[in-house]
Homo-oligomer: A and B are copies of this chain.
Amino acid sequence: MTDDLIFRHQLPVQIRFSDVDQYGHMNNSSYFSLYDLAKTAYMHDVFGNENWNKLGIVVANINADFLAPVFFSDKLMIETAVIHLGHKSFTLLQRAVNQTSGVLKCQCRTVMVGYDVATKEPVEIPLDYKQAICQYEGKTLEELSESVIL
């Protein structure tokens, strides 16, 4: 299903010296710092300056395939898209790609769940947030709701 997937959100990211381990490879944990960086940028872009951090959301699952090592010298870009919109959750697909070579280094699927900060219970994603995602991704709510998750 990802063959025709278009990532509208692309963020070049800075690799820090401390991200690289003894083998000259970027640490596993640093990938998730960079996915987080791109995720907050995505939400800022989609939901706007005022609203992006009002939505109570937590990460429920992370599933990442490490396909090739990232080196300190890599020009790395994180691509982000919402690939599924449910009632109380949505799913991000993110890719770490070498900007120069186009080589796909890592792919990660993250399930985010809406929650109420007061009750700590899962809640429906507000409709305006869903609409903002649909508009950004250029898809209807039906398309994103029915999409098969990888």
Chain A residues with a Cβ under 8 A of chain B: 13-14, 16-18, 20-22, 24, 27-30, 32-34, 36-37, 40, 58-66, 69, 72
Contacts and interface: CB of A to CB of B under 8 A. Distances in A.
Nearest to A67: B60
Which of A18, A21, A22, A32 has its CB near the most chain B CB atoms (within 10 A)?
A18
Contacts of A34: 16
Nearest to A61: B65
Contacts of A14: 13-14, 37
Nearest to A32: B29
A24 B120 CA distance: 14
A49 to B, nearest CB: 9
Contact of A28 (B13, B27, B36): B36
Contact of A22 (B22, B29, B66): B22
Contacts of A40: 17
A29 B36 contact: yes
A13 B61 CA distance: 22
A33 B22 contact: no
